[in-house]
Amino acid sequence: MGGLKHTLNIGAESLYATRQGVDTAGHNIANANTEGFSRQRINLEQRTPLETRNVLIGNGVFVKNITRAHDQFLEKQLNLSNQDMGRSSAMAEVMRPVEEVYSPQLNASVSEEINDFFSALQDLSNFPEELIVRTNVKESAESLTNTLKRVDMSLKRHRLDINDRLEGEAKEVSAALASIASLNIAIKTMETGNEKEASDLLDKQDLLLRQLTEKLDINYYRGDQGMVVVRGPKETLLVDRGHHASMQIRKDVSDPDGMSEVMINYGSADRPVVINDAIKKGRIAGLLEVRDKVLPALIRKNNETAFVLGHSFNALHRKGFGIASFKESTGRDFFQVSDRLDIAAESLDIDSFIREDVAAISAAVSPSAPGDNVIVNEMLRLKERRMMSGGDETFNEHYANTVGLFGLELVRAEHVLEADTALNNDLISRHDSLKGVSMDEEAINLMKWQANYTASSRVITTVDEMFDTLLSLKR
């Protein structure tokens, strides 16, 4: 009887193991389209044999554990690639709209407005007494100032948009850190034995880490009891066991433009750590690169154009005389422009005298000389004078070089994004081939487990029949 009970137990354990195999295959099929899910497999192991009458006999099977298909090295490679692609994708994403600021199809360019302004001055040189010509000079100058202001406002608006995006990125980072920390506790609780693996929870945590690497550069490893430890820029401790930091965006009081600082806050007596300069990869690094380097350089170039244009014209215009009631007065500016380079474009405007009366435009070098065009001719020569970039460029060359260099940066960003995307797609393909669920393979597994279940049931049926035989002998 004892021997038959042993055989019966073997059959029962086999049924249990087979059912676990069916459950695992079904779980894989159910999560075939779940993001981050890793294909799971059941690991069976034979029991230690028993010695009976100097003979070692098999003791059946048991389910050792259920583990996931996972390659830690490949996971690290993919996350490093995510950091690079996060940065390049963010840069390309926020630089593309800036291209519209300089697009001649959407707006008149600064170069076109400069040419129109100097063309109007050429007409004034030919007809210095004509009010219609003078009105055209005023309107061309207004159009030029408005274009420089539009470029300045558009670039600053893009900076503010990027600054606002950082707030959303920081909230997503903080939420991911909190979830990773809570999963640490859940994984520790479930993996109480050495052979247990909380595969589904580990998948969720790996997915969060993958999403986090898209945001910024981090390092992580699994420490005590399998709980992940995450460190960020400047070796900031982001996650340790069940504790986590948060990312916050705070206005930089020392920044005249009101841009924000990215900080890691530990929520304790420790002071928040500013990490702007330390973030090198991820979306946040790309956003900061465009916000703090690319756009300020473009704004500075535009301000330089307005500053040099305004002050150089004013220096000549003050020496001249107008017509009518202004024929004997001098010392007037042509433009209103700040002495501060950083606000030159936004302050640029037509002088109030000229706005009210075009007779105030000074074209003559001598008083009461309506046909005199000496001053306006000196203004015309400013177009070809190299006054920009330390005396290396004309107005048009300066603008063309500014647009050209930005275009090269955008093309470079697009090319880097293409290269990063190609590498990332290759790693994702290898990652999915390892972890992804194959419906054909799982269908074969179901058929295999079904056959095993039938055979295991047959073992129990056979033992039952043997029990009946023994009981019938007693009768």
**What are 470's two structure tokens?**
């023994």
Give residue-wise pLDDT tens across range 408-421.
999 999 999 999 99
Count how many domains the chain has: 2
Please check whether residue 469 lies inside any domain of the structure.
yes
Residues 312 and 373 in one domain: yes
In this prediction, residue 5 has a pLDDT band, given cuts at 50, 70 and 90, of confident
Domain finish residue from 407, 427, 450: 407
Domain finish residue from 391, 407, 423: 407
Residues 35 and 104 in one domain: no
Q: What region does 36 belong to: left with phi over 0, alpha with psi -120 to 50, or beta?
A: left
Query: According to the model, what pLDDT value does residue 194 have?
Result: 64
Q: CA 342, CA 269: separation in Å to the nearest integer?
A: 38
Q: Which of 31-40, 222-231, 235-244 has the weakest average pLDDT?
A: 222-231
Average pLDDT score over the chain: 91
Q: For residue 177, which of 266, 105, 106 has the smallest C-alpha distance?
A: 266
Neighbours of 67 (CB within 10 A): 16
Query: According to the model, what pLDDT value does residue 81 have?
Result: 95
Strands 237-240 and 335-336: unpaired
Please check whether residue 447 lies inside any domain of the structure.
yes
Domain finish residue from 384, 407, 430: 407
Express as a percent the part of the chain with pLDDT over 70: 97
Please check whether residue 422 lies inside any domain of the structure.
no
Query: According to the model, what pLDDT value does residue 1 have?
Result: 47
Spatial contact of 29 and 460, defined as CB atoms under 8 Å apart: no
Q: CA 16, CA 74: separation in Å to the nearest integer?
A: 34
Query: Exposed/middle/buried for 453, CB within 10 Å: 0-12, 13-18, 19+?
Result: middle
Residues 325 and 393 in one domain: yes
Residues 403 and 444 in one domain: no
User: Could you tell me the residue range of the domain that residue 65 belongs to?
Assistant: 2-69+439-474
In this prediction, residue 180 has a pLDDT band, given cuts at 50, 70 and 90, of very high
In this prediction, residue 51 has a pLDDT band, given cuts at 50, 70 and 90, of confident
Which position has the token pair 């170069």?
A: 111
Residues 354 and 455 in one domain: no
Q: Which of 14-18, 106-110, 233-237, 398-402 has the weakest average pLDDT?
A: 106-110
Residue 11 or residue 178, greater confidence: 178
Residues 302 and 450 in one domain: no
Spatial contact of 38 and 68, defined as CB atoms under 8 Å apart: yes
In this prediction, residue 60 has a pLDDT band, given cuts at 50, 70 and 90, of confident
Per the document, the length of the chain is 475
Tell me phi and psi for residue 66, to 5 degrees.
-120, 120
Q: What is the DSSP letter of 388?
A: B
> What sign for the dihedral angle of Cα 305, 311, 317, 319?
negative
**Is the confidence at residue 114, as pLDDT, over 60?**
yes
Please check whether residue 328 lies inside any domain of the structure.
yes
Q: What is the pTM of this model?
A: 0.88
Please check whether residue 446 lies inside any domain of the structure.
yes
Query: According to the model, what pLDDT value does residue 359 have?
Result: 95
Please check whether residue 46 lies inside any domain of the structure.
yes
> What sign for the dihedral angle of Cα 183, 185, 189, 194?
positive
Q: CA 183, CA 237: separation in Å to the nearest integer?
A: 17
∠ CA 189-202-263, rounded to 5°: 95
Spatial contact of 385 and 394, defined as CB atoms under 8 Å apart: yes
Please check whether residue 167 lies inside any domain of the structure.
no
**Is the confidence at residue 253, as pLDDT, over 90?**
no
**What are 410's two structure tokens?**
């955008």
**Is the confidence at residue 470, as pLDDT, over 50?**
yes
Residues 21 and 123 in one domain: no
Query: According to the model, what pLDDT value does residue 104 have?
Result: 72
pLDDT (mean) for 168-179: 95
Please check whether residue 226 lies inside any domain of the structure.
no
